[in-house]
Amino acid sequence: MRTRAVILAGGEGSRLGTLTAKRTKPAVPFAGKYRIIDFTLSNCVNSGIFDVMILAQYRPHSLIEHIGSGGAWDLNRDFTGGVRIYSPYKARGGSDWYLGTADAVQQNFLFIKSTKPDLVLILSGDHIYRMNYRNMIEFHQQNEAELTIAAIPVPMDEASRFGVMHFDENYRIKEFIEKSPNPPSNMANMGVYLFNREVLDRALWEDHTRIDSTHDFGKDILPRLVAEQKRVFAFPFEGYWMDVGTVDSYWSAHMDLLASPPSLDLNDRSWVIHTRAEERPPVYVSGGASVADSLICEGCVIEPHAQIEHSILSPGVHVETGAFIRDSVILTDTYIRSGAVVECSILDKRVTIGKNAHIGKMEEEIPQRIAMIGKNSLVPENTIVDAGAVIATDVVEADFLTQHIRRNDFIQTRRLPNEI
């Protein structure tokens, strides 16, 4: 049966704060050399699905540039599938900005069904996991399902944050509730949906005509199909899965990569995570430097007596003599000057941390309070940025009115947009 994958990649990702100030959430860098969407794309091609549509909306430029023609994923195909990116458009008939996840698919359904797929696989472009969708397709066919929803067990005290489902011994879903304060089970919706094309077409059109709908899969489409007693089944998933939609979950997912053994093995050659990356020289680690329990990407330079512990350094990060980094995520081409300390922090691309500055702090409280520094920003020497403080994008030395930025402070540039 022919399957077309549709990846929802239009999310603003406001809960990721400064990381999504200039990019959509699926385009946020992850694990040093990847983007978040790389995991969903790689799941598709590793599952033998080469017909992929990406629905973009919020600040899609980084995403479009990253995907390019799709060659990094073997998706640069013209007649046998390939990858195509679609964004909202204004036209007669009410086309406009997407009102919800279901509305995004509805507005593009003419394109989706143009190749007459038998099955439509709806995916989120902002989750970190490894999954063979072929197993789900086989499960769907064996059960003669009209809709199959991937489900993963979560701690019961966290189940209220997810759409959850209750199903019988044959995995047929009897109840689906979106973010209930009293969830009937701990089997959470992963945001992976496999529809028969005709069922999806009909469900989307009916939803489109409802004035009381939020036009969302979790809130509207899925509960309605279950209530109508359609053949809706749960596909249990037991591997690693993380929705990196918040600063804490983004940081935690990186720390999971540094566990022993890692929660998600990036070195598993049977399931390669593909990406589009520029060529960089090899890592250079100077004599006297110390690197432990860390992922260090190509092009990094670590000078003498610098210490890196339990952290992830993206390509081109430069760490000067005597600097110390621990439990942090450092994105591309960031520069850490001598004597600086970075702990429990997330630093975006092309950040500069001045000499002897101190960013973040190790804390015993849970969840951790993460210090964040936005893209292209500079923290002056000897400045202290407490845990939980945020420096926005494009901040320069003149924007700092004090050398101590305290918890929950938010520092942003005072320059006009044409001055940046």
pLDDT of residue 251: 95
CA atoms within 13 A on the CB side of 156: 3
The position carrying tokens 């507005």 is 107
pLDDT of residue 115: 86
pLDDT band at 366; cut points 50, 70, 90: very low
pLDDT of residue 11: 80
- Which SS3 state, helix, strand or coil, does residue 265 take? coil
pLDDT of residue 404: 96
Q: How many CB atoms lie within 10 A of CB 356?
A: 16
The mean pLDDT value for 326-348 works out to: 97
pLDDT of residue 363: 62
Determine contact, residues 51/82, Cβ cutoff 8 Å: yes
Name the H helices within 240-297. 247-257
What lies within 8 Å, CB to CB, of 67 at 6+ separation is: 37, 54, 83, 85, 276
pLDDT band at 397; cut points 50, 70, 90: very high
CA angle 317, 348, 43 (to 5 degrees): 90
Which of 18, 11, 3, 10 lies closest to 394, judged by CA? Answer: 18
Is 60 exceeded by the pLDDT of residue 91? no
pLDDT of residue 95: 53
Is 90 exceeded by the pLDDT of residue 288? yes
pLDDT by residue (tens digit) across 191-239? Answer: 999 999 999 999 999 998 998 899 999 999 999 999 999 999 999 999 9
- Is this prediction's pTM over 0.85? yes
Is 80 exceeded by the pLDDT of residue 365? no
The rounded distance, in Å, linking the Cα atoms of 131 and 21 is 30
Handedness of CA 348, 350, 356, 357 (dihedral sign): negative
The mean pLDDT value for 160-173 works out to: 92
Residue 404 corresponds to which amino acid? H
Domains located in the chain, CATH noted: 3-257 (3.90.550.10), 284-419 (2.160.10.10)
Is 50 exceeded by the pLDDT of residue 312? yes
The mean pLDDT value for 365-385 works out to: 88
pLDDT of residue 364: 58
The mean pLDDT value for 160-180 works out to: 92
Determine contact, residues 378/340, Cβ cutoff 8 Å: no
The position carrying tokens 């489409």 is 221
pLDDT of residue 96: 63
pLDDT by residue (tens digit) across 29-79? Answer: 999 999 999 999 999 999 999 999 999 988 889 999 999 999 999 999 877
DSSP 275: -
Q: Please indicate whether residue 327 or residue 161 has the higher confidence score (pLDDT).
A: 327
- Mean pLDDT, the chain, rounded, equals 92
pLDDT of residue 420: 66
Which of 342, 330, 247, 332 lies closest to 17, judged by CA? Answer: 247
Residue 185, exposed/middle/buried by CB under 10 A (0-12, 13-18, 19+)?
Answer: middle
Q: In which region does residue 344 sit, left (phi positive, over 0), alpha (psi from -120 to 50) or beta (all else)? A: left
Strand pairing class (241-243; 127-129)? antiparallel
Least confident span in 119-128, 299-308, 362-371: 362-371
